[in-house]
Amino acid sequence: MNFTQIKNRAIAEWEAQRKSDKPHILVGSATCGRAAGAGPVLEAIKATLAQHNLEATITQVGCIGLCYAEPLVDIVKPGRPRISYGNVTPEIIPQLIEDYLIHDNPRADLALGTLGEGDIEGIPKLFELPMLKPQVRIALRNCGIIDPENINQYIANGGYSGLERALSLSPEAVIEEIKKSGLRGRGGAGFPTGLKWEFCRKSPGTIKYIICNADEGDPGAFMDRSLLEGDPHAVLEGMLIGAYAIGATEGYIYVRAEYPLAIQRLKLALQQMAEYGLLGDNILGSNLSLHLKIKEGAGAFVCGEETAMMASIEGKRGMPRSRPPFPAQSGLWGKPTNINNVETWANVSAIMQRGADWYSSYGSEKSKGTKTFALAGKINRTGLIEVPMGISLEKIVYDIGGGIPGGKRFKAVQTGGPSGGCLPASQLNLPVDYESLTAAGSIMGSGGMVVMDEDTCIVDVARYFLSFTQAESCGKCVPCRLGTKQMLDMLENICRGQGKPEDIDLLLELSQRVKAGSLCALGGTAPNPVLTTIRYFREEYEAHIKEKRCPALACTELISYYILPDKCQGCGICLRDCPAEAIAGGKRMVHVIDQDKCIKCGTCLDVCPERFGAVVKVSGEEIEVPKEPVPVAAAKPNTQA
Amino acid sequence: MSEKGISTLGREGLILRLKEAQSKFGYVPQEVMAELAQSLEIPINEVYGVASFYSFLSTRPLGRNVIRICRSLPCYLKGAQTVIEAVEKELGIKPGETTPDGRFSFQLANCIGLCDQAPAMLINQDAHVELTPEKITQILRMYK
C-alpha cells in the first residue's frame, strides 16, 4: 500500500466513524485522567452499555487540557455535536448514559460544553468558554480529539502530509520554510529552529543524529507529557521532517523514566510507523532513511541539558560538558547532532502541514506561533493550555486560569521553573514572549507556570528553587556545586530568622558569579529565582532579616500561635488535638500555648471552632496573654463583670 | 552504527542493563556491576559511577514498593509537607529509608509532572493525586 492508499483508507475510516449511527463515547485517558479515576469510569461505561444492550464506540483520548475537570467523558450522538462532561464519577455514569442515550436528555447540568457543528440547548460551546476562547491549538491540535494509539486517526486529520510535502522539497527548502515560520526552540532558550538545523546540515560528516528532548523536568511543567500521551505522531512526524532537512539517519527520543504512559504510547507509535513504511530505510519510497530509538532516562534533571543528555544516551553519567564544540558540530559519539524539544517537533509537523505563513500569522513580532503552558499552583483551573505568543500574563491567570481560589490575592507567577523567575502583580500586563519575559528577569522556559497567592512566602519559594538546583546539580563544576550551596544556606538562614543585613547584597554578588562561572545552563540560570524575587520583593527579604517577620506567615520559625483570652471559651478541643502537648487549660479555662513546646503545626488554629476564632497566627510580634490558664470569666472583665 | 563497533553499542546499553537489574532485584547488586564491567571491558568504578548517578537506580536494596512523593513547588504549595509527614508517621521511616520488613522504600522526587492535581506521588509506576494525610493510610494499604 502506498501512502495515498493509506491516507484514503484512514480518511474513510474516520468519516465512517463520524457518520456512524452508533453513539461515540470518548474518555480522557492521559495520566491526568487516569490519576483522577478514568479507569473506573471507563468500566462503568462498559457495564452500563451492556446492561441496556446499547452499542457504542468507545475511544480513549489524550488530554484536552481541562485537567481540573478530570475525569472527562465526551459523548457524541449521531448527527449531534460532541458534549464534554467534567468531573465524571463511576456513580454518575449509569444515569448519564440512560438519560442521554435512551431518553435523549443531554444533561446540560453536567456538561462543560459542546464541540463541533450544531448547538444543544443549555450547553455552551466549549471553545467559547473563557478558558478555551483565547487559546490557539497548534502543537496540541489533536490532543483530546483523536485516539493517540491509532495512527489512522492522526493521518485522517492531516497527519504525515507535512512529511509528504517536505519530501517534495529539497532539504534546504525545508530549512527555509522553518526559518520563515519564525519557530524558536520551545525547550526554553528560544534559539531559532531553522538556523539550528542549518548548522547541523552544513556540518561535515556522513552520520548525523537527531534527538527529541522529552526529559521534561521543570517543576510545574507537564506539557510534553500531555503531548506525547495525546498525540505522539505529531512529534514523530516533526522528527522525520527534521531528519530529512538535516540529513540525519539515526535518532533518539530521550524520555524521562517518570512518564511510563508516554513511553508506552511512543513505542506503539513507532511500531505503527514501521508498519506503514514511515520508519526505517527509504521512507515512503524516498531517499530519507531514519531509525528511531527510545531512550528512557533514569531520574536526573540535568539530563535535560543537551550535552548531559547525549552523555546519558551514550550510557554514561549525565554530566554536561563545556561548549563549543556545539552538538551541531560534535554531538552524540562525536557526530553532528541536532536536539529539539517535544513541542518544537510538534510545531514542525504543523508548519509543514499548513505552511510557514499560516504559522507566523500567530504570535508577536519576534516570537511567532503559539506556546503551551502548564498552569499549576494556586489557580482555579489547573491544566494545559496553548496560547498565541504575546498574550498577557493577566489573560492567562484570570481569563484562562480563572484566577486565585478562595478569594485570595494574587502574589506572583513563576515561569521557567528553576531557571526562571517570579513575576509580581505589577508585571501582569507583560506580553508572554521570549524578549519580554527575559527583560522582566524571568524566561519563557519550557512552559511551567506556577501561580502563588498571598499565603506564599517569596523567600521560601526562592529557597525551594535553590534546594532543587542544589539537589540536581551534577557536581562537575564548582560555581554550581558550591555556589548554589552557599546561596541555599543563606536563604535557609533568612527563612529561619537568622539572616544578616549584608545577606541580600551577598546573594546578588554570588548570583552573578554562579551565572558567569557555571558550565551549563543548570547553574547558569539557577540564581534567576533569587534575582527576580530580590528585584520585585526586596521588602519581604528585609522583613525576614531586620524584623524577623514573615509577611506571608509561612516560615514556621518566624511565626507564633496565640490563644486570645477574650475569645477562648475553654472548650478544650485545641488541647485535645495538639500533637505536641503544648497547650495547657481546663474546663472553662482560657487555654495557653507553651511557646517553647509549640511545633507551629497550626492544628489549634484549624480546630478552634469558627464561632470562637480564638487562635491567631502572627509573625514578628508578641501578643499579651496570661502565662497560666485562667478562668474564662476572669479573662473578660468587660463583658462578664 | 557499524562505525561505532560492537563495544560502543554495548556501552550505550549500560543504563538499560542497570535498570533491568534494578527491576529484577530491587536494586543493582555489586555482583551485577562487576559482571557488567567485565563484559563491557570498563572499570567497575565507571559502572558504579553511572549506577549511583541516577535516582531511579539504587546501589542498596530497596523495598518491594517504592514511594516517590513529589517535593516540587506546585505540590509544596498545595500541602505536600503534610502528606510527607503522614507517610513518615504511617511507616515510621524518613525519606531515603526502607521499612524493616522491606515493604516500602520512601523517597522524595523532583516533579513527576502531575502538577495539575497536586500534591501527587508515584508508588512504583502508579500515580496517586490530590493527596491528603487522610488518604495516605488507605492508599498504602493497597501495597503488600
Per DSSP, the residues of A161-211 read HHHHHHHTS-HHHHHHHHHHHT-B-TTTT--BHHHHHHHHHHS--S--EEE
Q: Do B57 and A299 touch (CB under 8 A)?
A: yes
Q: A263 to each of A61, A256, A258, how far by Cα in Å?
A: 16, 9, 9
Could you tell me the domains of chain A? 13-128 (3.40.30.10), 160-360 (3.40.50.11540), 370-453 (3.10.20.600), 458-546 (1.20.1440.230), 556-634 (3.30.70.20)
Residue-level pLDDT at B17: 93
Residue B7 has pLDDT above 70, yes or no: no
Give the global pTM.
0.93
The three cell numbers locating residue A551: 509577611
| Ranges of chain A with pLDDT below 70 | 634-641
Which 79-108 residues of chain B touch chain A by CB within 8 A? none
Residue-level pLDDT at A143: 96
Which of B16, B72, B127 minimises the CB distance to A31? Answer: B127
Residue-level pLDDT at A635: 58
Positive or negative, the CA dihedral A158, A159, A162, A168 is negative
Q: Do A258 and B11 touch (CB under 8 A)?
A: no
| Least Cα separation, residue A629 to chain B (angstroms) | 30
Q: Do A297 and B54 touch (CB under 8 A)?
A: yes
Q: Do A220 and B111 touch (CB under 8 A)?
A: yes
| Least Cα separation, residue B103 to chain A (angstroms) | 21
Type and span of the H or E element at A340? strand A337-341
Give this complex's ipTM: 0.90
Residue-level pLDDT at A637: 54
Tell me, yes or no, if B3 comes closer than 8 A to chain A by beta carbon. yes
Q: C-alpha A372: how far from its chain's center?
A: 9
Residue-level pLDDT at A639: 47
Q: Do B115 and A216 touch (CB under 8 A)?
A: no
Please state, in angstroms and rounded to a whole number, the distance separating the CA atoms of residues A113 and A123. 5
- pLDDT class of B10 with cuts at 50, 70, 90: confident
Residue B4 has pLDDT above 80, yes or no: no
Please state, in angstroms and rounded to a whole number, the distance separating the CA atoms of residues A326 and A330. 6
Query: CA nearest A114: which of A100, A96, A102, A127?
Result: A127
Q: Do A300 and B55 touch (CB under 8 A)?
A: yes
B127 CB neighbours in chain A (<8 A) are 31, 34-35
Q: Do B56 and A298 touch (CB under 8 A)?
A: yes
Helix axes A232-246, A171-181, angle to 10 degrees: 120
Give the dihedral of Cα atoms A506, A507, A510, A512; nearest 10 deg: -120
Q: What are phi and psi of A60, to 5 degrees?
A: -95, 120
Residues in chain A: 641
Q: Which residue of A has its CA nearest to B42?
A: A316
Residue whose C-alpha cell is 513527576 = B112
A-to-B residue pairs, Cβ atoms closer than 8 angstroms:
133
pLDDT, tens digit (0-9, with 9 covering 90-100), for B77-114: 999 999 999 999 999 999 999 999 999 999 999 888 88
Query: CA nearest A452: which of A405, A402, A387?
Result: A405
Mean pLDDT within B12-17 = 92
Residue burial B71-86, b: 16+ Cβ < 10 Å; e: rest = bbbbbbbbebebbbeb
B120 CB neighbours in chain A (<8 A) are 35
- Contact predicate A452/A484, CB 8 Å: no
- pLDDT class of B3 with cuts at 50, 70, 90: very low
Q: Do A219 and B72 touch (CB under 8 A)?
A: yes
Which of A32, A318, A452 minimises the CB distance to B116? Answer: A32
Which 52-81 residues of chain B touch chain A by CB within 8 A? 53-57, 72-74, 76-78
Which of A219, A298, A319 minimises the CB distance to B73? Answer: A219
The three cell numbers locating residue A45: 461505561
